[in-house]
Amino acid sequence: MAIFLTYDGTELSYRSEGEGEPLICLPGGPGRASAYLGDLGGLSRYRRLIVLEARGTGGSATPADTATYRCDRQVDDVEALREHLGLDRIDVLAHSAAGNLAVMYAAGRPHRVRSLTLVTPGTRAVGIPLTDGDWREAAGLRSGEPRYAAGSAAPDEIAAGRDPREVGEAVRPFMDGRWDEAARAHAAEEDEQRDPAAARAFCADGAFDPAATRAAPAGVDAPVLVLAGELDGDPRPERAARARRTVPGGPY
């Protein structure tokens, strides 16, 4: 792990793995340490992965002001990492909730982004929310699986007032393409890798300004790639495609 100081004096850490051109990797969660990403399925054989630990996670310090867990307040952490590495432009790969962070960084500093890869990204930053319909459609694709009945009922139970944490075990298998030993281990580690305060504050009021993000310079030429799988509920492939159309940038 390497350490650097970000804009407000908080010590942030990152790990470097592999050889080749640097690829800045932003883990999701939100508020989850980067360990779950591993080496991104062997991507470290082709690129030098620079995996940032978001503030309050992994080896990064807890900030003095916990309001800085908010997504928009973490944009400057990405910029501080770029400056620390001495890179003029960066290739960015972001997963899940960090897709919001990456898009906001690119919108604010388009001249610093060489390429942008968003893997099953959060889309609130561009004003496209997750809906119950997304979840139900994705769940319906798994109607033949043993856990379907319990998982598909979760949206109705939450709407009726049940604590979402109480249905987490039923829902969790729907968040992976396959519910095998590796996926179960990944899920079991989530609680110990996640900072609850960081997770809660990430999407706090004021975190997103979709109109401003969508109004980023239309002439941005950095290639943008958005990935979403057939079984993904957040986002569904169709919602990922809508998000891609709102993000300035060229074809990958």
pLDDT at 42 over 80: yes
Q: Would you say residue 237 lies in a domain?
A: yes
Q: Name the packing angle between helices 98-108 and 71-85 (round to 10°).
A: 70
Q: What secondary structure letter does DSSP report for 39?
A: T
Q: Would you say residue 173 lies in a domain?
A: no
User: What mean pLDDT is reported for the chain?
Assistant: 86
Rounded mean pLDDT, 102-129: 93
Q: Say which CATH number the domain at 228 has.
A: 3.40.50.1820
pLDDT at 70 over 60: yes
* Residue 71 domain boundaries: 2-127+195-246
At residue 248, the pLDDT reads 66
Rg (CA), the chain: 18
CA distance 12 to 221: 30
Q: Give percent of the chain above pLDDT 70.
A: 81
Q: Would you say residue 145 lies in a domain?
A: no
Q: Would you say residue 155 lies in a domain?
A: no
Q: Would you say residue 220 lies in a domain?
A: yes
Domain count, the chain: 1
At 29, the pLDDT band (50, 70, 90 cuts) reads confident
Q: Would you say residue 138 lies in a domain?
A: no
> Residue 154 is encoded by which pair of tokens?
């979760």
In the chain the first and final C-alpha atoms are separated, in Å, by: 31
For 193-209, write each residue's pLDDT tens digit: 788 889 999 999 999 99
SS3 94: strand
Q: Would you say residue 78 lies in a domain?
A: yes
Q: How many CB atoms lie within 10 A of CB 156?
A: 12
Rounded mean pLDDT, 43-61: 97
Question: What pTM was computed for the model?
Answer: 0.88
User: Can you say how many angstroms the Cα of residue 6 is from the centroid of all Cα atoms in its chain?
Assistant: 20
Q: Would you say residue 29 lies in a domain?
A: yes
pLDDT at 57 over 70: yes
User: Can you say how many angstroms the Cα of residue 153 is from the centroid of all Cα atoms in its chain?
Assistant: 26
At residue 219, the pLDDT reads 55
SS3 98: helix
Task: Please calculate the CA angle 60-66-68 and round it to the nearest 5 degrees.
Answer: 80
CA distance 151 to 202: 26
Question: E strands of 121-231, at which residues?
Answer: 224-227
At residue 216, the pLDDT reads 78
CA distance 239 to 252: 18
At residue 45, the pLDDT reads 96
At residue 166, the pLDDT reads 65
For 137-180, write each residue's pLDDT tens digit: 777 777 777 776 666 676 677 667 766 666 666 666 666 667 67
For 207-225, write each residue's pLDDT tens digit: 999 999 988 765 567 899 9
